[in-house]
Amino acid sequence: MPEIRFAADTHPELVRQVRVWLESTMAERSVADVVEASAELTKDALRLIAGAAPAPVAQSDLVAELTKLGHQATDAVRDATLAGLDGLAAVTDGRLVKKVGEEGAKAAYEMNQATARQILQSLFGRRPQGDGA
Protein backbone atom coordinates (compact mmCIF):
# COMPACT_ATOMS: atom_id res chain seq x y z
CA MET A 1 0.00 0.00 0.00
CA PRO A 2 1.40 3.45 -0.89
CA GLU A 3 2.49 5.60 2.00
CA ILE A 4 3.21 9.30 2.39
CA ARG A 5 5.32 10.59 5.26
CA PHE A 6 5.97 14.11 6.39
CA ALA A 7 8.61 15.04 8.96
CA ALA A 8 8.79 18.42 10.66
CA ASP A 9 9.88 19.97 13.93
CA THR A 10 6.88 22.30 14.13
CA HIS A 11 3.21 22.16 13.25
CA PRO A 12 3.42 25.10 10.79
CA GLU A 13 6.25 23.33 8.92
CA LEU A 14 4.18 20.14 8.73
CA VAL A 15 1.17 22.09 7.42
CA ARG A 16 3.40 23.77 4.81
CA GLN A 17 4.68 20.38 3.63
CA VAL A 18 1.14 18.99 3.33
CA ARG A 19 0.03 22.09 1.38
CA VAL A 20 2.96 21.75 -1.02
CA TRP A 21 2.11 18.09 -1.54
CA LEU A 22 -1.58 18.89 -2.12
CA GLU A 23 -0.64 21.64 -4.60
CA SER A 24 1.56 19.22 -6.51
CA THR A 25 -1.29 16.74 -6.81
CA MET A 26 -3.81 19.33 -8.00
CA ALA A 27 -2.40 19.30 -11.54
CA GLU A 28 -2.53 15.50 -11.73
CA ARG A 29 -5.91 14.79 -10.18
CA SER A 30 -9.52 15.75 -10.58
CA VAL A 31 -11.20 17.90 -7.95
CA ALA A 32 -13.13 14.84 -6.76
CA ASP A 33 -9.86 12.94 -6.32
CA VAL A 34 -8.42 15.77 -4.23
CA VAL A 35 -11.55 15.87 -2.05
CA GLU A 36 -11.27 12.10 -1.50
CA ALA A 37 -7.53 12.28 -0.78
CA SER A 38 -8.00 15.16 1.64
CA ALA A 39 -10.66 13.22 3.53
CA GLU A 40 -8.38 10.20 3.81
CA LEU A 41 -5.48 12.41 4.91
CA THR A 42 -7.69 13.92 7.62
CA LYS A 43 -8.75 10.48 8.84
CA ASP A 44 -5.12 9.34 8.89
CA ALA A 45 -4.23 12.42 10.93
CA LEU A 46 -7.00 11.60 13.41
CA ARG A 47 -5.61 8.07 13.79
CA LEU A 48 -2.09 9.41 14.32
CA ILE A 49 -3.22 11.94 16.92
CA ALA A 50 -5.24 9.32 18.79
CA GLY A 51 -2.33 6.86 18.66
CA ALA A 52 0.15 9.43 19.94
CA ALA A 53 -1.57 9.70 23.30
CA PRO A 54 -0.29 7.65 26.24
CA ALA A 55 -1.55 4.05 26.00
CA PRO A 56 -4.30 4.32 28.65
CA VAL A 57 -5.70 7.41 26.93
CA ALA A 58 -5.20 6.15 23.35
CA GLN A 59 -7.03 2.92 24.16
CA SER A 60 -9.90 4.58 26.03
CA ASP A 61 -13.47 4.48 24.80
CA LEU A 62 -13.55 8.27 24.78
CA VAL A 63 -10.68 8.58 22.30
CA ALA A 64 -12.13 5.77 20.17
CA GLU A 65 -15.51 7.52 20.01
CA LEU A 66 -13.95 10.93 19.30
CA THR A 67 -11.91 9.39 16.48
CA LYS A 68 -15.03 7.68 15.13
CA LEU A 69 -16.93 11.01 15.23
CA GLY A 70 -14.03 12.70 13.45
CA HIS A 71 -14.18 10.07 10.71
CA GLN A 72 -17.94 10.48 10.37
CA ALA A 73 -17.63 14.27 10.18
CA THR A 74 -14.87 13.96 7.57
CA ASP A 75 -17.00 11.61 5.49
CA ALA A 76 -20.00 13.95 5.78
CA VAL A 77 -17.93 16.94 4.62
CA ARG A 78 -16.49 14.88 1.74
CA ASP A 79 -19.96 13.77 0.65
CA ALA A 80 -21.39 17.29 0.95
CA THR A 81 -18.49 18.74 -1.06
CA LEU A 82 -18.94 16.20 -3.84
CA ALA A 83 -22.71 16.77 -3.83
CA GLY A 84 -22.05 20.52 -3.98
CA LEU A 85 -19.78 20.08 -6.98
CA ASP A 86 -22.44 17.98 -8.66
CA GLY A 87 -25.08 20.62 -7.93
CA LEU A 88 -22.82 23.44 -9.11
CA ALA A 89 -22.15 21.57 -12.34
CA ALA A 90 -25.88 21.12 -12.89
CA VAL A 91 -26.90 24.69 -12.01
CA THR A 92 -24.21 26.39 -14.11
CA ASP A 93 -24.59 24.03 -17.08
CA GLY A 94 -20.88 23.26 -16.79
CA ARG A 95 -19.70 26.89 -17.00
CA LEU A 96 -17.87 26.82 -13.63
CA VAL A 97 -17.36 23.11 -13.09
CA LYS A 98 -18.52 20.17 -15.14
CA LYS A 99 -18.68 16.46 -14.60
CA VAL A 100 -16.15 14.83 -16.90
CA GLY A 101 -16.31 11.19 -15.89
CA GLU A 102 -18.04 8.63 -13.75
CA GLU A 103 -16.55 5.67 -11.88
CA GLY A 104 -19.10 3.92 -9.74
CA ALA A 105 -20.43 6.43 -7.23
CA LYS A 106 -17.44 8.77 -7.74
CA ALA A 107 -17.61 11.56 -10.29
CA ALA A 108 -14.70 13.55 -11.64
CA TYR A 109 -15.05 17.28 -12.21
CA GLU A 110 -13.24 19.76 -14.37
CA MET A 111 -13.13 23.35 -13.17
CA ASN A 112 -13.04 26.50 -15.26
CA GLN A 113 -9.36 27.61 -15.23
CA ALA A 114 -10.06 31.15 -14.01
CA THR A 115 -12.23 29.83 -11.18
CA ALA A 116 -9.58 27.30 -10.21
CA ARG A 117 -6.94 30.04 -10.03
CA GLN A 118 -9.15 32.16 -7.78
CA ILE A 119 -9.85 29.23 -5.45
CA LEU A 120 -6.18 28.23 -5.21
CA GLN A 121 -5.18 31.83 -4.59
CA SER A 122 -7.76 32.14 -1.78
CA LEU A 123 -6.66 28.82 -0.25
CA PHE A 124 -2.91 29.32 -0.45
CA GLY A 125 -2.64 33.11 -0.59
CA ARG A 126 -0.68 33.09 -3.83
CA ARG A 127 -0.85 31.88 -7.41
CA PRO A 128 -0.09 28.20 -7.99
CA GLN A 129 3.41 27.44 -9.23
CA GLY A 130 3.77 26.97 -12.96
CA ASP A 131 0.88 29.35 -13.64
CA GLY A 132 1.92 31.42 -16.61
CA ALA A 133 -1.04 33.81 -16.40
59-89 pLDDT, tens digit per residue, is: 889 888 998 999 999 999 999 988 888 887 7
Q: What is the pLDDT of residue 96?
A: 67
- How far is 57 from 69, CA to CA, in rounded Å? 17
Domain layout of the chain by residue ranges: 30-124
By C-alpha distance, which of 75, 2, 14, 78 is closest to 48? Answer: 14
Task: Give tens-digit pLDDT for 15-43.
Answer: 888 888 777 765 566 777 778 888 888 88
128 burial level (CB within 10 Å; 0-12, 13-18, 19+): middle
- How far is 97 from 55, CA to CA, in rounded Å? 46
